[in-house]
Amino acid sequence: MIARSRQVALALTAVLAAGAACQAKDTDNHPPPARGGRPAPQPSASPAAGAFTLVASGDVLPHSSIIERAKFDAGGTGYDFRPMLSGVEPVVSRADLALCHMETVYGANGDYTGYPAFKSPPEVAKGLAATGYDGCSTASNHSLDDGADGIRRTLDALDRAGVRHAGTARTPQEARTVTILRAGRAKVAHLAYTYDTNGYPLPAGQPWAVALLDENRILADARAARRAGADVVVVSVHWGTEWQDAPDERQLSLARTLTAARTGGRPDIDLILGTHAHVPQAYEKVNGTWVIYGMGDQIAGEMSNHEGVQDPRGNQSTIGRFTFVPPKRSGGRWEVAKAEFVPQLFDIDAGRVLDVNEAIAEGAELSGVRDRIREVVLSRGAAKDGLRMGR
């Protein structure tokens, strides 16, 4: 693993040198600031008028080594996560809507920690915004690592960076409010839930602080999002069995239930995005709706599995990219006309997220990583439903 990582780090250096029941929060009258001080990207080319592309990526999980790398990249003063994510910025920023998963909460005044109770520098939010992310799910098993204060600091920092969020809340009203984002002329609702909080109890008097995974609640919230004007409903779920390539029975069962739910003949949910397992898992079209069981860790330090063995899968992940086209009739469903996955790797020596296909094109020896990710992603027959590996 170390030899492979150093080889990738050299390849990356070459790449960089080469020029490398609810109310609705709506952004109609509040356009987001330009990302990273540059003009906002133009929407990507779409196959039909009014279509939009949505990309989503896996867990951002800053271990202590990640925090130290961001400090180094900032020149020793503060923390800079932008270089770490620069390799996937082209894929993320070209989408009309980009969603991430912020697994940890933020600390303050230099009090930053990695595993097991994470408190990340709030500069992570600036890095996500500069990369092109519009919103993040924040419900995870680490949401209460620093109690209600951690949630508040995290959401405050994301707000300052112009990154929307779903899954945790500072107030009852915020917990009841649907997060709705614009993607072209479509309104996209983003909902997020977690299976657990690592045994930490919900803060006293704040049962709404973290959205816990419950199928009845998810469906109620999805229907409320429709009533709030959502054209497309996206659900992020922190679920599954860690270090297991295949989705577990709970994931499969919940996916079937959620995708089968309909109101007036229209599906209540249009896309499911899974996180938590630390490894890439399959994509599958279930009851006509795309489900990503697990995207893997986009950012993480050196990962050891349940046997205590360093496991390179913990630094592999995918970006899902879906092109939605408008309904053919009023009140109909926005359909996915194109479904893609982009393989990623976090190189722990270089401290950079790599677009694996792009790195291979530049000469990095990553074909084995790419092929393993592709095999897992397609393991439940997604290719027959049109899923393709993208660039």
pLDDT bucket at 39, cuts 50 / 70 / 90:
very low
Residues with Cβ within 8 Å of 140's Cβ and at least 6 positions away in sequence, in order, are 59, 101, 103, 104, 167, 194, 238, 275, 276
Write out the two tokens for 350. Answer: 């270089």
Number of domains composing the chain: 1
What is the mean predicted confidence (pLDDT) over 178-196? 97
Q: Is the Cβ–Cβ distance between 54 and 271 less than 8 Å?
A: yes
| Model confidence band, residue 121 (pLDDT cutoffs 50, 70, 90) | very high
Question: What are the DSSP E strand ranges found in 94-231?
Answer: 97-102, 135-137, 164-166, 178-183, 186-194
Q: What is the pLDDT of residues 197-237, one digit of tens each?
A: 999 999 999 999 999 999 999 999 999 999 999 999 999 99
What is the structure's pLDDT at 25?
39
DSSP structure string for 95-132 = SSEEEEEE-S-B--TT--B-SSS-BB-THHHHHHHHHT
Average the pLDDT over 24-41 and give the result.
39
User: Predicted confidence band at 10 (pLDDT cuts at 50, 70, 90)?
Assistant: very low
pTM, two decimals, is 0.89
Report how far residue 75's alpha carbon sits from residue 71's, in angstroms, rounded to the nearest whole number: 7
Task: Grade residue 371 by pLDDT with cuts at 50, 70 and 90.
Answer: very high
pLDDT-derived band of residue 36, with 50, 70 and 90 as boundaries? very low
pLDDT in tens, 309-324: 999 999 999 999 999 9
Radius of gyration of the chain (CA): 19
140 pLDDT higher than 60? yes
What is the pLDDT at residue 49? 80
β-pair partners for 11: none
3-state secondary structure of 190: strand
Measure the CA–CA gap between 58 and 217, rounded to whole angstroms.
23
* Residue 156, token pair as written in the block: 């405050």
Each residue's pLDDT tens digit, 323-353: 999 999 888 999 999 999 999 999 999 999 9
The answer, yes or no, to whether residue 145 has pLDDT greater than 90, is yes
pLDDT over threshold 70, residue 23: no
pLDDT score for 72: 97
Banded pLDDT at 76 (limits 50, 70, 90): confident
Q: State the pLDDT at residue 22.
A: 39
Over residues 95-113, the pLDDT tens digits come to: 999 999 999 999 999 999 9
What was the pLDDT predicted at 331?
Answer: 84
Q: Which residue range is the domain that position 17 belongs to?
A: 2-389
3-class DSSP state of 17: helix
Residue 363 or 18, more confident: 363
What CATH number should be reported for the domain holding residue 170? 3.60.21.10
| pLDDT score of 286 | 98
pLDDT surpasses 50 at 369: yes
Q: What is the pLDDT of residues 60-70, one digit of tens each?
A: 999 999 999 99
- Say what the pLDDT of residue 178 is: 97
| 3-class DSSP state of 367 | helix
Q: Which residue has the higher pLDDT, 245 or 2?
A: 245
Of residues 210 and 7, which shows the higher confidence score? 210
Instruction: Give 229-288 pLDDT, tens digit per residue.
Output: 999 999 999 999 999 999 999 999 999 999 999 999 999 999 999 999 999 999 999 999
